[in-house]
């Protein structure tokens, strides 16, 4: 081992431990990353102080090829970058070969959507043993609007009973439209289907018995005040369990389900973009991948040529 390289690494780690006071786990992670750098430099016959950007790019590519996750590579590069910044302050190097080098982007996970059967089962669930029929009517209405209109949870809780005053959102029952204030303070209108309108009428028949005087919110808690996003998440989770759904359900999953099921049925990406209120169609295009997954599963389940050889008689 090159003694100078070892001194540089140990000196930097001591600086992180004593002056920066990094946690033990972080020090261990950085120590491992710097040990890897030292080993790769030694294998290439390059002293650490002589490392150039093309060396660093090649070594980062090797880490990626070895299967290291993008987030882990980002941690490694951060440790390397910190070493050379410290060496630069010490006057040991003239430039930082890691500066500008970034880890590969981690693939974004696909949004989770319910199957059509599960989404419908949740929307049609009725809790006949509910302790408070008023809350049961409210929760059914919330599910219908989340899944039937693709609303974000903030758009749902922002709904008022009328368009009066400075209402952020409201539902026009005669026009069968929900008017909401979305991200970036952008307004949009979405159709409200017959089941959601029926659930809304049922909830409105109960709402006055709960809401405080002059409370404008469409959805209120048992205390009569505007329902919060956290309360909606809790009630939806409980309702999904009651309906027998196999996975944890949160409000945005119903929005994903709305988009995915619309796209499966219509194939109209632009219309789905407008209904969701996405500024860019690239945001909406992620649902085409969900749609392809649906088709791929149908193929795997039904097409004879999709079956494994070992499955055949």
- Residues with catalytic function: 152, 183, 252, 255, 278, 287
Q: Report helix, strand or coil for 154.
A: helix
Q: Report helix, strand or coil for 78.
A: helix
Whether 178 and 169 have beta carbons less than 8 Å apart is answered as yes
Dist CA 192 CA 175 (whole Å): 9
| Diameter of the chain measured on Cα atoms | 81
Q: Report helix, strand or coil for 181.
A: strand
311: number of Cβ within 10 Å: 8
Please, which residues have CB within 8 angstroms of residue 181's CB and are 6 or more apart in sequence? 155, 158, 168, 169, 187
23: number of Cβ within 10 Å: 9
Please, which residues have CB within 8 angstroms of residue 161's CB and are 6 or more apart in sequence? 170, 204, 207, 216, 217, 218
Q: Which of these, 102, 1, 50, lies nearest to 10 by C-alpha position? A: 1
């Amino acid at each position: 081992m090159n003694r100078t390289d070892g001194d540089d690494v140990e000196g930097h780690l001591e600086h992180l431990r004593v002056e920066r006071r990094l946690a033990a786990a972080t020090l261990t992670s950085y120590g491992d990353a710097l040990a890897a750098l030292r080993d790769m430099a030694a294998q290439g016959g390059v002293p650490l102080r002589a490392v150039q950007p093309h060396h660093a790019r090649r070594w980062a590519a090797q880490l990626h090829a070895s299967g290291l996750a993008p987030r882990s590579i980002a941690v490694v590069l951060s440790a390397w970058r910190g070493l050379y910044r410290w060496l630069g302050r010490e006057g040991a190097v003239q430039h930082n070969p890691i500066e500008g080098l970034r880890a590969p982007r981690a693939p974004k996970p696909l949004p989770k959507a319910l199957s059509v059967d599960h989404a419908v089962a949740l929307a049609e669930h009725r809790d006949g043993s509910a302790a408070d029929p008023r809350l049961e009517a409210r929760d059914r209405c919330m599910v219908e609007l989340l899944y039937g209109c693709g609303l974000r949870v903030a758009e749902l809780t922002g709904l008022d009973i009328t368009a009066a005053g400075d209402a952020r959102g409201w539902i026009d029952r005669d026009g069968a439209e929900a008017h909401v204030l979305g991200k970036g303070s952008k307004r949009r209108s979405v159709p409200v289907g017959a089941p959601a309108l029926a659930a809304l009428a049922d909830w409105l028949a109960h709402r006055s018995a709960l809401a405080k005087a002059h409370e404008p919110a469409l959805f209120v808690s048992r205390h009569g005040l505007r329902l919060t996003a956290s309360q909606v998440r809790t009630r939806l989770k409980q309702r999904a369990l009651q309906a027998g759904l196999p996975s944890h359900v949160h409000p945005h999953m119903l929005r994903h389900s709305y988009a995915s099921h619309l796209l499966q049925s219509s194939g109209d990406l632009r219309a789905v973009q407008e209904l969701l209120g996405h500024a860019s169609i690239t945001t909406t295009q992620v649902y085409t991948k969900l749609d392809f997954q649906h088709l791929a599963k149908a193929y795997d389940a039904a097409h004879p040529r999709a079956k494994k050889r070992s499955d055949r008689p």
